[in-house]
Amino acid sequence: MGSTNTLRIKLQLPSVDTTQIALVTVDSVCAKALSALDSLIHATNPDAPTNIPARNLYVVSFGGYSAVVDPGTSMGEWLPLFFFDAAWVYVSVLVGWG
């Protein structure tokens, strides 16, 4: 997440020290992540069900931003990693890891 990382810059993410990166275990933050991800799904997929079932996510915080992975969702063999800012506004997605 350093300042010269080309991928980080392309994804519009902040430069943070590794001490600012942490797995989130707070239920209220995870609920906000689920809500933000579901809102993004509805905004980009008109065929998405109105009520998307609750599910487990991985949420990582860094410098006020969050990275969210739904391990039950894939794009072929890849898992998308969604990035949100501190207000849970979608920033970017990285597809190509898994």
- Evaluate whether 65 touches 84 at the Cβ level (below 8 Å): yes
Q: Locate all alpha helices (DSSP H) within 1-98, ordered by sequence.
A: 6-10, 27-44
User: Side-chain half-sphere of 24: how many Cα atoms within 13 Å?
Assistant: 23
- Could you read off the pLDDT tens digit of each residue along the chain, which spans 98 residues? 555 688 888 999 999 999 999 999 999 999 999 999 999 999 999 899 989 999 999 999 999 999 999 998 877 888 899 999 999 999 999 987 55
Q: How far apart are CA 16 and CA 82, in angstroms?
A: 17
Q: How many CB atoms lie within 10 A of CB 42?
A: 13
- Hey, what are 97's tokens? 């890891």
pTM of the model: 0.88
